[in-house]
Amino acid sequence: MPKSKKSHTIEKKKETVTQSSPKNRFTIPLNHLIAIGLIVGVALMAYSNSFDVPFHFDDRPNILQNPNIQIQVFTWDRLVSFITHTYEVSIRVFSYFTFALNYYFGGFNLFYYHLVNFIIHVACGIFLYWFLMLTFNLPYLRDEYGPMSYKVALFASLIFIAHPIQTQSVTYIVQRMSSMAGMFYLLAMVLYVKGRLSSGKGRFAYFTATGLVYLLGIFSKENVAILPLFVLLYEFYFFQNLTIGPKGKKTFLTVVSIVGLLAIVGLAVWGNRYYELIIEGYKIRDFTLSERVLTQLRVVLYYLTLLAYPHPSRLNLDYDFPVSKTLIDPPTTLISMVIVAGLIGYSIWAAKRRPVLSFCVLWYFGNLVIESSIFPLEMAYEHRLYLPSVGPFIFFSLVAIWSLETLRKKLVLGKPHPMPGIPVSAGRKR
């Protein structure tokens, strides 16, 4: 006999009380410990032979030949000098600070530099798992995704940890900047979700921590700057259910105001620095700003092929990517523009029916937008995929787990298993 709404509500309240009781507050369930163990174990198998890889390319000017990070005695004056001199060249002060710590404790001992990179990568995998567990068990998604949330979260995290495309971010020492940015980005998302699910002082603490982690991310690598936009997008998708009702309007407007304020402060503090970087940067490049933007339409799709088929023969540290001169030179530029626009357009159109798929598509393209747009950087680098790859990995994991669950249910129960995001009935559960 179906349960009444009242009894269902009582059960939910009991469940909530049980989950937040003092007895269980500081314990980690066994399934989460298993997930963490698997993440660490897979990372060890993937990178156990990388701890003696020597310094390469940008490692030399940033670490070996950088006297600013070669701190032998930590004093307040030396720390201020380090911050001042580093900030003059780059705002990635926190990334350079980790290099300084490496040097302080071990000089140029390769093992410890790689160990830090490895720990950061493992932390990213754990934060991704945590973020997905929280997301798939939100009230808006729990009915459809909750039953398979553990499998999807773990599978996506393991792919993230083991995928060959991440090798550059983990093994190339200086590119810990990318993995650190990813780590703080994912942790900030976790803290924001935890804050939204909390109240009172707990919510304030989580939001404060989110802001502090965001700053650490910014001072690790600039592409974390896009984070507030994705917090806003996440709020709209999964807390406002893609419809801003009267109850959610105040919260949504608050988030919009904070994001807008951060954008204004960022432009005021760093706008001129990056304007000059763009102007001066193209003076030494053999391509123009418009050529770079056109070429990136092809690059972001090429990145997807690397995620799908990361054969060693296709992976490269230094790509010689042909430049797009116009929309039809080469013709694949126009084709790429149509495909990119189509994918983004479809994700927006399908947001109501398949919000997770839509969010994954926007995550991929949105988190590439800084390094794959107007800045005079090299055309293609694999480490730029470190964070954006999360979107395709989540989507692939959902499809894989759904397919296995469908097969299992057909074999064992003889029942169909609808694809998440497409309700069995015409009306979507709210």
pLDDT per residue over 155-213, tens digit each?
999 999 999 999 999 999 999 999 999 999 999 999 999 999 998 889 999 999 999 99
The Cα 382–Cα 375 span in angstroms is: 17
* Predicted local confidence at residue 406, as pLDDT: 85
What radius of gyration do the chain's Cα atoms show?
23
Contact between 97 and 74 under an 8 Å Cβ cutoff? The reply is no
Predicted structure pTM score? 0.89
Tokens read off for 334: 């126009």
Please check the confidence at residue 311 and state whether its pLDDT lies above 50. Answer: yes
Whole-number Cα distances in Å, 177 to 88, 98, 219, 326: 17, 10, 9, 33
What residue has token string 């993937």? 46
Q: Give the least confident one: 119-128, 195-204, 413-422.
A: 413-422
> In this predicted structure, what is the pLDDT of residue 343?
97
The whole-number average pLDDT for the span 236-257 is 82
Say how far apart CA 28 and CA 41 lie, in whole Å: 18
| Per-chain mean pLDDT for the chain | 89
Mean pLDDT calculated for residue range 276-304: 95
Lowest mean pLDDT among 1-5, 81-85, 149-153, 409-413: 1-5
Residues facing 326 on adjacent strands: 329
**Residues 128, 130: Cα–Cα separation, whole Å:** 5
pLDDT exceeds 80 at position 371 = yes
- Assess whether pLDDT exceeds 70 at residue 140: yes
Distance CA 44, CA 65 (A): 30
Q: Which of 45-49, 99-103, 139-143, 364-368 has the lowest mean pLDDT?
A: 139-143
Q: Token pair for residue 312?
A: 């060693």
Q: Which residue has the tokens 């792919």?
A: 159
Q: Which string of DSSP letters, residue by residue, matches 206-261?
A: HHHHHHHHHHHHHTT-GGGGGHHHHHHHHIIIIISTTS--HHHHHHHHHHHHHHHH
Q: Count each helix (H run) and each strand (E run) in the chain, helices first.
A: 17, 0
Please determine, for residue 430, whether its predicted confidence score (pLDDT) is greater than 70. no
Q: Are 66 and 173 within 8 A, CB to CB?
A: no
Query: What pLDDT sits at residue 421?
Result: 63
Residue pair 358/366 in contact by the 8 Å Cβ criterion: no
pLDDT value of residue 13: 45
- Which pLDDT score, from 0 to 100, does residue 183 have? 98
